[in-house]
Amino acid sequence: MSDPLPDSMPAASEPSSRDIADVPAIEIVSTAALHLMSSAAVNLGLAEDLPEHVDLDEARTLIESLAGLVTAAAPRLGHHHAAPLRDGLRSLQLAFREASEIEDPPGEGPGEKLTGPVRPHRR
Residue-level pLDDT, tens digit, the chain, 123 residues: 545 555 555 555 556 777 889 999 999 999 999 999 999 999 999 999 998 999 999 999 999 999 999 999 999 999 999 999 999 999 999 999 999 999 999 999 999 999 999 987 665
Distance CA 91, CA 94 (A): 5
Residue 8 lies inside a defined structural domain of this protein: no
In terms of C-beta distances under 8 Å and separation of at least 24 residues, what long-range contacts does 116-121 make, across chains too? 118/90, 118/93, 118/94, 120/94
Residue 83 lies inside a defined structural domain of this protein: yes
Length of the chain: 123
Residue 67 lies inside a defined structural domain of this protein: yes
Domain membership of residue 44 as a residue range: 25-100+109-114
Residue 92 lies inside a defined structural domain of this protein: yes
Residue 96 lies inside a defined structural domain of this protein: yes
Residue 29 lies inside a defined structural domain of this protein: yes
In total, how many domains does the chain have? Answer: 1
Residue 94 lies inside a defined structural domain of this protein: yes
Residue 89 lies inside a defined structural domain of this protein: yes
